[in-house]
Amino acid sequence: MYDLSDAYLTNDVIITDEIMERFILFLLEGHTINKIKVKAGTIGGYMKCVNDHYHKLRFNKPFEIKSDTAAAKLLQNVKILRVLQIRESLYIIEFL
């Protein structure tokens, strides 16, 4: 994906994290099936599929939501932002 396709099957955390982070951003930018907006939970499911693929090939899983990687932080922040957006919309409705 974007000049890293030849290196995606690696145990190098720096490379796999960059690929996973780019994939998350790619999805968040709307590059999905039928241009449907995806939620953080759906992206997390996609990350699980990638982990399963790596596991079948006997590689280390490239994504762990509780890790300190850029991809994990990005997805955590997307989840937090979504919760804040929901709270804000509830607050607005309450005062209408």
32: containing domain? 5-94
Rounded distance between C-alpha atoms, residue 85 and residue 47, angstroms? 23
Q: What is the pLDDT of residue 1?
A: 45
Give the pTM: 0.74
Q: Count Cβ atoms below 10 Å from residue 30 Cβ, excluding itself.
A: 10
Ramachandran quadrant class, 67 (left: phi over 0; alpha: psi -120 to 50; beta: rest): beta
**Domain tally for the chain?**
1
Indicate whether 90 pLDDT > 80: no
Cα 77 to the chain's mean position, in Å? 10
Contacts of 37 (CB under 8 A, 6+ apart): 30
With a CB cutoff of 8 Å and minimum separation 6, the contacts of 12 are none
Once rounded to an integer, what is the mean pLDDT over residues 61-81?
A: 90
CA separation for the pair 30, 27 (Å, rounded): 5
What number is the average pLDDT over the span 85-96? 65
12-70 pLDDT, tens per residue? 888 889 989 999 999 988 888 888 888 888 999 999 999 999 899 888 888 998 899 99
